[in-house]
Amino acid sequence: MGTLKKVNINSAGAGQNFAEVETPVVIEIEGKGRVIVFSVGSGTSGIPLGWAASDDKPGLNLLKDFSDETVRNMKEKIQVIKQHGDIVIVSIHWGSNWGYDIPKEQIEFAHKLIDDAGVEVIHGHSSHHAKGVEVYKERLIIYGCGDFLNDYEGIGGHESFKAHLTLMYFVSVDPLTGKFIYLHIVPMQIKHFKLNRVSKADALWLRNLLDREGKNLRTKMKLIVNNDNILLLK
């Protein structure tokens, strides 16, 4: 965290005490408004309870559970800071590292954060590969964004997930209403600790994967073949 501060990268969800870990990052977008990012973790991802921050102990912003009480607590924190025109993102580390299943409790929790707490975007992560995305009441939910850059290259055992294929997510949201406009995804490949462009075949595989996992979530991707082989969700 000290290194991040030295290069002026703000962070949320971890810190020297509980007050620090629950403080969101506020990003001013010139001419548009603010983006507010809350970051939390769940024990469902394997985070030990002992990693939770307390009033006098460093650690993480660890959720107790996915209950209505937890939603109310999130709502109270959001209401303190959110102003008209703000876009609130809740970034959640939850679920298993491998597998495409999205537990019912995660779906219900994401929906309640949108319905009751006024969240515009749910940014889910933990799985080492992309999972399905959903547009719920004109709000975007990314249940598992996959890894972006890691040092797992050469480790065997989960080749079928093609975790070396990674995604950059560019989300467009109406700043006045908070409504989702589109999701623009640039597929990349991790190789030798670098991000590289993918082939059309890899982009097509990712498109088919997201379509398959998005079927029950009622989302479908369009592949735009060009230098970036972009995936688009409207």
Tell me the pairing of strands 165-173 and 230-233.
Answer: unpaired
In this structure, the answer to whether residues 31 and 103 fall within a common structural domain is: yes
Domain end marker among 107, 126, 145 = 126
In this structure, the answer to whether residues 107 and 5 fall within a common structural domain is: yes
Q: Which of 189, 188, 185, 149 is CA-nearest to residue 170?
A: 185
In this structure, the answer to whether residues 122 and 167 fall within a common structural domain is: no
In this structure, the answer to whether residues 164 and 86 fall within a common structural domain is: no
In this structure, the answer to whether residues 221 and 180 fall within a common structural domain is: yes
pLDDT above 90 (res 190): yes
Which residues are CB-neighbours of 99 under 8 A, at least 6 positions away? 127
Answer whether residue 223 is part of any domain: yes
Cα gap 35→55, rounded to integer Å: 27
How far does CA 85 lie from the centroid of its chain? 21
Q: Per-residue pLDDT tens for 80-106?
A: 999 999 999 999 999 999 999 999 999
Q: Per-residue pLDDT tens for 24-83?
A: 999 999 888 999 999 999 999 999 999 999 999 999 999 999 999 999 999 999 999 999
Contact call for residues 123 and 145 (beta carbons, < 8 A): yes
Domain end marker among 104, 126, 148 = 126
Q: How high is the pLDDT of residue 31?
A: 86
Domain end marker among 103, 126, 149 = 126
Answer whether residue 132 is part of any domain: no
Domain total of the chain:
2
In this structure, the answer to whether residues 79 and 190 fall within a common structural domain is: no
Q: How high is the pLDDT of residue 121?
A: 98
Q: How high is the pLDDT of residue 196?
A: 96
0.85 exceeded by pTM: yes
Answer whether residue 173 is part of any domain: yes
In this structure, the answer to whether residues 11 and 102 fall within a common structural domain is: yes
Answer whether residue 139 is part of any domain: no
State the SS3 of 155-212. CCCCHHHCCCEEEEEEEEECCCCCCEEEEEEEEEEEECCEEEECCHHHHHHHHHHHHH
**Percent of the chain scoring above 90 in pLDDT:** 91
Q: Which domain holds residue 121?
A: 1-126
Cα gap 178→172, rounded to integer Å: 10
Q: How high is the pLDDT of residue 227?
A: 83
Q: What is the phi/psi pair of residue 146, to 5°?
A: 80, 175
